[in-house]
Amino acid sequence: MPGFGWRWPLRFRHVPKNLKDQTIHIRVAGVDAPEGAYFGRPGQPHAEESLSWLRKRVEGKVIWCQLVRKDQYGRIVAVPVIPYRFIPLFLGRHWGSSLAVEMLRAGMVTTYEQSGAEYGPSNREEFLRWEAKARTARRGIWKYGMTGETPADYKKRHASSLSPADSSRKEGGS
């Protein structure tokens, strides 16, 4: 029997059977990707490129997610971390690469700055710094310069044209 104050150094978590081997859709905290086409609206330039980059980076990999909260549409907002290859998986959430920062460094997303933005262990300034470096280096969505509309501007522009039926469908998507 362990002495007073002693406890296990690791907490093992149980994965419910209904979630085991399932894909769980999350919203990556702190970043905003180009909007894809949906409900008859055109997608933004680079939306497919950004999604393709993300798929190549995460498919088939173990990813730790620190759950932050649910957003106004009921989506899970999380901070995904990809463990470094030489670190044991149980330590990956502490010694891993932030997927949001990787996406910003690759120039595939912008920093999410709307109300209720969450950045996890990083902060807004760090995210903006990585975005600025990608813009300067013209990586990803910035390869043709600073022209084009941000995902936030795109959403604002299309929000005024949403019908009530579209806005209720939107709550479950993207």
**Residues catalogued as catalytic:** 27, 35, 75
Asked if 134 contacts 104 with a C-beta cutoff of 8 angstroms, the reply is yes
The DSSP-derived string for 53-119 is HHHHHHTT---EEEEEEE-TTSPEEEEEEEE-TTS-GGGTTTSEEEHHHHHHHTTS-EE--STT---
Question: What is d(CA 25, CA 111) in angstroms, rounded to the nearest whole number?
Answer: 20
Q: Could you tell me whether strands 110-111 and 64-70 are parallel, antiparallel, or unpaired per DSSP bridges? A: unpaired
Q: What are the C-alpha distances in Å from 68 to residues 71, 172, 174?
A: 9, 18, 18
Sign of CA dihedral 174, 118, 79, 9: negative
Picking from 73, 90, 104, the residue whose alpha carbon sits closest to that of residue 12 is: 90
